[in-house]
Structure 1
Amino acid sequence: MKEFVIGKNDAGQRLDRWLAKTLPLLPAPLAQKYIRLKRVKVNGKGSQRDVRLQEGDRLQLYINDEFFDAPREDNAFLSVFQPRLDIVYEDENLLLLNKRPGLLCHADEQEKVNTLITHIQAYLYQKKEWNPRDEHSFAPALCNRIDRNTGGIVLAAKNAETLRILNQKIRDREIGKFYLAVLHGRMSPPAGKLEGFLLKDEDKARVTVYRKPVPGGKSAATLYKTLKTADGLSLVECELLTGRTHQIRAQFAAAGHPLLGDGKYGRERDNKRYGRAFQALYSYKLVFSFSTDAGMLEYLKGRAFTVEHVDFVEAYFPGE
């Protein structure tokens, strides 16, 4: 319990508004719940959220200590009252989430709270599976990430050993990551392998594909297979053999077939014809193709997880 005495500058404020100012990490719906449960008392008694505070009033707050902290990136999850997660699979060690397009994996300069990782941490905190005050170093973390406007499966570890194993399996290419994409035109040949070297321009947040090694460039390889063509478009399945920034988008654009809706690597006039405002790219399947020992995660060996519905497939290739 923490106690506050209302001073002259706070007198006249509503109780709920005083709480919002004093505890910025406390979500408004949770603050209202605490008021209803009388975990917020004014002069030793329960109160209403719209009561006007008077100078000298004593407030007793029976609220978890973490809500009294100053807002920071590492406690932003406390501000999430109702986590929004599309869970593909969950067990005691990990989560597989279907990230919706438009949602950031991690915070950036503009968005600090509404990110996939804050929703995951809020979900596990509210389930009482994780409490940062009980941990010295570990926080639930993502093992892979995808672009803001790309949707699909993202892996999250609930404990440090799971994070270590999954990161190693990704580095060793023992976790298969499969994407669906819609391209302009037709690939020739209809199935094959795209290889090259990607060099990122940090200022433009854009990568360029080179056929030969360049200073600072990273090798990139993608397997692809055309599943269907219609109306000047192709539905393609891609398997990432490497995991570089904008790899699929840049490689297909360099091959002359940019992704539908991709304003960075494609042409706006081509995208407008089909009414697509962001890239038609989805991480729809993940396979735990372990070829070496996976320790405590060995039970996942050979398992595959798939997202059932991908919006652009249904929109441009109905029936697939």
Structure 2
Amino acid sequence: MKILSTKNNLQVLYEDNHIIVVNKRVGDIVQGDQTGDKPLSEVVKEYLKEKYNKPGEVFIGVVHRLDRPTTGLVVFAKTSKALSRLNESFKNRETQKTYWAAVKSTPEPKQATLTHYLVRNPKNNQSKAHDKEVKESKKASLTYNFLKKLDRFTILEIDLHTGRHHQIRAQLSKIGHPIKGDLKYGYDRSNPDGGIHLHARKLTFIHPVKKETITIVAPTPTDPIWDAI
């Protein structure tokens, strides 16, 4: 099983007085849920408390989330001002999110923009992609590009245009190319660590205080498939 993040093994990609960006491991939950497992937000708090020897409560604001079985970069706000500004920026799609995914076989064409209508089912925590608009659906759009062909998988680079629940997983499954390890969306075998081969690779956003454009790239986990890129 994958070793979850702790304050001592946290991979920090960027940090200043206003934000901290970390590289999430398989199995980490970004924010607390019904499982009661310690979320990444608490791990980051512990890391900051120890690093700066802070006596009181450490503020950490959750800006966005990644699914538990995925890996990659997650941004946290260190101040309430940064949190409110980042929330607004993410809400208004003033960010550019790029993912890598290892999928079953090779999509044709090798580059395309996918548009579907997703309906979320909270009972099984799953989203179903439809070709046409249906009741209670939300429009989802992404562009994928061919990155590399491996023996049994293809690596795609994906740019998100919308931020729907399980969007990449549902849309790639809909076109017949589920993500490696993603049993929930039609892949036939799980990964040993319980994760899926979906990695939040790159994020470009406006710094909430400095107003500069920042681009951060998250290294992929040590893994034969990612190492082959």
Q: Which runs of 5+ in 2 are unaligned?
A: 1-5
Higher helix share: 1
Q: TM-score, normalised by structure 1?
A: 0.65
CA deviation digits over 1:105-152, x for unaligned, max 9?
11222224x2101111222333245833xx9xxx31111110111011
Match for residue 138 of structure 2?
218
Higher strand share: 2
Query: How many residue pairs get matched?
Result: 224
Say which of 91, 103, 107 aligns to 1:171: 91
Q: Which runs of 5+ in 1 are unaligned?
A: 1-80
* Alpha carbons of structure 1 residues 256 and 83: separation in structure 2 relative to 1, 3 Å: same
Query: What does residue range 241-260 of structure 1 map to in structure 2 within 5 Å?
Result: 241-260=161-180
TM superposition shift of 1:229 = 1.2
Match for residue 297 of structure 1?
210
Q: Per the alignment, in what secondary structure is the counterpart of residue 26 of structure 2?
A: coil
Query: What does residue range 155-304 of structure 1 map to in structure 2 within 5 Å?
Result: 155-268=75-188, 271=189, 277-288=194-205, 290=206, 296-299=209-212, 301=213, 303-304=214-215
Which of 1 and 2 has higher RCO (CA within 8 Å, sep 6+)? 2
Q: Per the alignment, in what secondary structure is the counterpart of residue 296 of structure 1?
A: coil
Letter in 1 for 2:22: L
Letter in 2 for 1:118: E
Contact 1:261-1:276 within 8 A present in 2 as well: no
Match for residue 103 of structure 1?
28
Say which of 70, 89, 94 aligns to 2:19: 94
Match for residue 144 of structure 1?
64
Letter in 1 for 2:209: M
* Alpha carbons of structure 1 residues 82 and 89: separation in structure 2 relative to 1, 3 Å: closer
Query: What does residue range 62-101 of structure 1 map to in structure 2 within 5 Å?
Result: 82=7, 84-101=9-26
Letter in 2 for 1:97: V
Contact 2:102-2:180 within 8 A present in 1 as well: yes
Q: TM-score, normalised by structure 2?
A: 0.88
Letter in 1 for 2:126: R
Confirm whether residue 307 of structure 1 aligns to residue 218 of structure 2: yes
Q: Per the alignment, in what secondary structure is the counterpart of residue 111 of structure 1?
A: coil
TM superposition shift of 1:162 = 0.7
Letter in 1 for 2:219: E
Superposition CA RMSD, Å: 2.4
Say which of 26, 29, 44 aligns to 1:120: 44
* Alpha carbons of structure 1 residues 316 and 83: separation in structure 2 relative to 1, 3 Å: closer
